[in-house]
Amino acid sequence: MADSDTVCVDFQTDPSRYKHWKLSFDGPVATLAMDVREDGGLRPGYELKLNSYDLGVDVELYDAVQRLRFEHPEVGAVVITSGKERVFCAGANIRMLSQSPHAFKVNFCKFTNETRNAIEDATVGSRQVYLTAVNGPCAGGGYELALATDWIIMADDGNTAVSLPEVPLLAVLPGTGGLTRLVDKRHVRRDRADFFCTTEEGVRGKRAAEWGLVDEVVPRSRLAEVVRARARELAARTDRPATAPGFRLLPLERTIADDAVRYRHVACELDRTRGIAWITVTAPAASPPNGAPGVHAQGSTFWPLALARELDDLVLHLRTNEAEVGVWVFKTAGRADLVEAYDRLLADHRDDWLVREIRLYWKRTLKRLDVTSRSMFALVEPGSCFVGTLLELALAADRSYMLDGTRRGERLPLATVRLTEANFGAYPMPNGLTRIANRHLAEPARVEKLRARLGEDLDARAAAEAGLVTFTPDDIDWDDEVRQALEARAAFSPDALTGMEASLRFGGPETLETKIFGRLSAWQNWVFQRPNAAGPKGALVVYGTGQRSEFDRRRV
């Protein structure tokens, strides 16, 4: 791996391998109990005390959230609680944070944020509602996890409290959307939020409910009973099928070599000298199965689902384990007609629970690309299949190049792109817009015009005219043009690029998600870097030593 002193993090796991979570089922209600193994950290040097977590704990959480949606159609409500007696969750492990390099912290926060967003997406999109049973002190990232759920019930025992102690204790900010969700989601009054976020011990009991920090407080002895009742009520509102058979998300077929990661439908070649990942996505080999039953029968081998899982894993892998590969280039290969046929199947059966899940999954995976701190290019060449769902890869890229015409001496069909229904609402970006709308903010009417061209093969000229690709060099210019663009990109400051790309990718309105990611990249990452947090006398560094942090008192 690129960084020899870091462990390669694997995002694949399954419940039989969980160290930190216990998953149990009671009819339509599932319980996800956090019981972090102290000595189960990803790296040496810290103990995961008091249900504090590191990336490894969150990888399992992500896996559980995914499996609950796909493998358990019968589950309508999920209770997050603690499997420990005295504590709910103390948040991200501080020693882990203080010993981690900056880039790791940022990437860790990004992933944990995506999982919190996925929980909210399960509640809204999958109709699998999450609620939290706070059965002990719930601090920092622990409370942020609760904030991602739809209903928070807290034990009123004089001791259990919710808190965001980051500012007073660590001189950093809550890193998983806590501040934003307080005021934007729960509408906690800003002055109360101000007090709450500067009070290390947090707020408990009645006041927590009065202020809207939690939804209910109940005596400890009644907590289990109230949670069960509430979970049942919420589960009863779902439209998920109570009796549909679930299926297993089978292990991915993946090989990780020195300079390549290969899956069934995705191949990624790493050019470390130039810092480029060449990612090729291939179209399905055969026509789609028949109707929703066909989709169910194929389960996790169904091409769109298999591909989404592979891309998801690849994105996470590259982000975490290949920090120096700064440019990702997307290509596609295969039959455009088949890709379109799969898109049609997904559109026709969008109300089927599994098809809905698959589309939601694609939405989330594409969103991961939107918030990835890598330069992304797409190359649309003869023989490619940037159609519908796969066209979103090109639309998500910072820039795209489409070859005008064919290559001399090559028999592949002309490069074209094709729009499908999927490009018009199935996969909104974090700002709530489709990628098509997001690139036509100047002329919103063009979006409707494009809708009229569903299914049409658009060649380079037409695609450029439609605003779907950036540049369209011909066969003679192509190689040089693409090479120079990539080399230029690789030469810029990675930090400046990260900031620039994040700023340009999201035009249009702000949403909870764009605020969370925007503030994470701007405020939190800035604070994380500052000497007041990370300097030799910074709060993160001296935390746990009993020494006092020393602050540079000048406001910036």
Partner 1 sequence: MASIDYTERIPNNVNLGEDRRLQRALEEWQPKFLEWWRDMGPHGFQATEVYLRTAVSVDPQGWAQFGYVRMPEYRWGIFLAEPEAARVIPFGDHKGRPVWQDVPGEYRGVLRRLIVTQGDTEPASVEQQRHLGRTCPSLYDLRNLFQVNVEEGRHLWAMVYLLDAYFGRDGREESEGLLERRAGDEDKPRILGAFNEKTPDWLSYLMFTFFTDRDGKYQLASLAESGFDPLARTCRFMLTEEAHHMFVGETGVGRVVQRTCELMRERKTDDVRRHGAIDLPTLQKYLNFHYSVSLDLFGSEISTNAANFYTMSLKGRFEETKKNDDHRLQDATYPVTEQDGETMTVREQPALQSLNERLRDDYIVDCQRGLDRWNRIIKEHGIDFEFRLPHRAFHRKIGTFADVRVSPEGRLLTEAEWGPKKRQWLPTPEDEAYVQSLMQPVTERGTFATWIAPPARGVNSQPVDFDYVRLA
Minimum gap (Å) between residue 221 Cβ and partner 1: 5
Q: Which is nearer to partner 1, 471 or 551 (CB)?
A: 551
Q: What are phi and psi of 199, to 5 degrees?
A: -110, 105
Cα 177 to Cα 371: distance, rounded to the nearest angstrom: 15
Cα 421 to Cα 159: distance, rounded to the nearest angstrom: 53
Minimum gap (Å) between residue 51 Cβ and partner 1: 15
35 binds partner 1 (CB under 8 A): no
> Within 10 Å of residue 199's Cβ, how many Cβ atoms?
15
24 binds partner 1 (CB under 8 A): no
546 binds partner 1 (CB under 8 A): yes
- Contact of 434 with 423, CB cutoff 8 Å: yes
Minimum gap (Å) between residue 168 Cβ and partner 1: 7
Minimum gap (Å) between residue 194 Cβ and partner 1: 15
**Candidate list 25, 449, 544, 552; residue touching partner 1; CB under 8 A:** 544
536 binds partner 1 (CB under 8 A): no
**Candidate list 16, 44, 191, 221; residue touching partner 1; CB under 8 A:** 221
Taking contact as CB under 8 A, which single stretch among the options 152-160, 285-293, 358-366, 409-417 is the one that binds partner 1?
152-160
553 binds partner 1 (CB under 8 A): no
Q: Which is nearer to partner 1, 168 or 291 (CB)?
A: 168
166 binds partner 1 (CB under 8 A): no
> Within 10 Å of residue 266's Cβ, how many Cβ atoms?
20
Q: Which is nearer to partner 1, 408 or 548 (CB)?
A: 548
Q: Which is nearer to partner 1, 206 or 272 (CB)?
A: 206
Q: How distant, in Å, are the alpha carbons of 300, 383, 414, 417, 427 from that of 281?
A: 17, 12, 18, 15, 18
3-state secondary structure of 495: helix
Q: Which is nearer to partner 1, 1 or 542 (CB)?
A: 542
Q: Which is nearer to partner 1, 383 or 538 (CB)?
A: 538
159 binds partner 1 (CB under 8 A): yes
Q: What are phi and psi of 478, to 5 degrees?
A: -45, -60
Taking contact as CB under 8 A, which single stretch among the options 56-64, 102-110, 341-349, 537-545 is the one that binds partner 1?
537-545
158 binds partner 1 (CB under 8 A): yes
Minimum gap (Å) between residue 45 Cβ and partner 1: 15
Minimum gap (Å) between residue 96 Cβ and partner 1: 14
Minimum gap (Å) between residue 44 Cβ and partner 1: 17
Q: Which is nearer to partner 1, 220 or 350 (CB)?
A: 220
448 binds partner 1 (CB under 8 A): no
Cα 360 to Cα 242: distance, rounded to the nearest angstrom: 20
Tokens matching residue 102: 């900056």
3-state secondary structure of 399: strand
Q: Which is nearer to partner 1, 87 or 366 (CB)?
A: 87
Q: Among 532, 537, 536, 525, which residue's Cα sits nearest to residue 108?
A: 525
Q: Which is nearer to partner 1, 219 or 425 (CB)?
A: 219
**Candidate list 156, 322, 343, 404; residue touching partner 1; CB under 8 A:** 156
357 to 416, contacts with partner 1 by CB under 8 A? none
262 binds partner 1 (CB under 8 A): no
Q: Which is nearer to partner 1, 301 or 547 (CB)?
A: 547
> Within 10 Å of residue 242's Cβ, how many Cβ atoms?
12
Minimum gap (Å) between residue 48 Cβ and partner 1: 14
- Contact pattern from residue 190 through residue 219 relative to partner 1, giving x for each residue in contact according to CB under 8 A and a dash for the rest: ---------xxx-----------------x
Minimum gap (Å) between residue 335 Cβ and partner 1: 59
Q: Which is nearer to partner 1, 210 or 239 (CB)?
A: 210
Q: Which is nearer to partner 1, 172 or 486 (CB)?
A: 172
Residues 6+ apart with CB under 8 A from 443: none
220 binds partner 1 (CB under 8 A): yes
Report the 3 state secondary structure along 102-138: HHHHHHHHHHHHHHHHHHHHHHHCCCCEEEEEECCCE
Minimum gap (Å) between residue 55 Cβ and partner 1: 22
Rounded to the nearest 10°, the torsion over CA 490, 493, 498, 499 is: -140
**How many residues make contact with partner 1 (CB under 8 A)?**
17
Q: Among 492, 508, 512, 509, which residue's Cα sits nearest to residue 500?
A: 492
- Contact of 403 with 434, CB cutoff 8 Å: no
45 binds partner 1 (CB under 8 A): no
Q: In which element (H, E) is residue 401 found?
A: strand 399-402
Residue type, 369: L
**Candidate list 40, 83, 125, 168; residue touching partner 1; CB under 8 A:** 168
Residues 6+ apart with CB under 8 A from 191: none
Cα 298 to Cα 306: distance, rounded to the nearest angstrom: 10
Q: For strand 266-271 and strand 260-263, is the pairing parallel, antiparallel, or unpaired?
A: antiparallel
Distance of CA 50 to the CA centre of its chain: 26
Q: Among 354, 289, 365, which residue's Cα sits nearest to residue 126?
A: 354
Residues 6+ apart with CB under 8 A from 205: 156, 158, 217
Binding residues for partner 1, rule: CB under 8 A, are 156-159, 168, 199-201, 219-221, 543-548
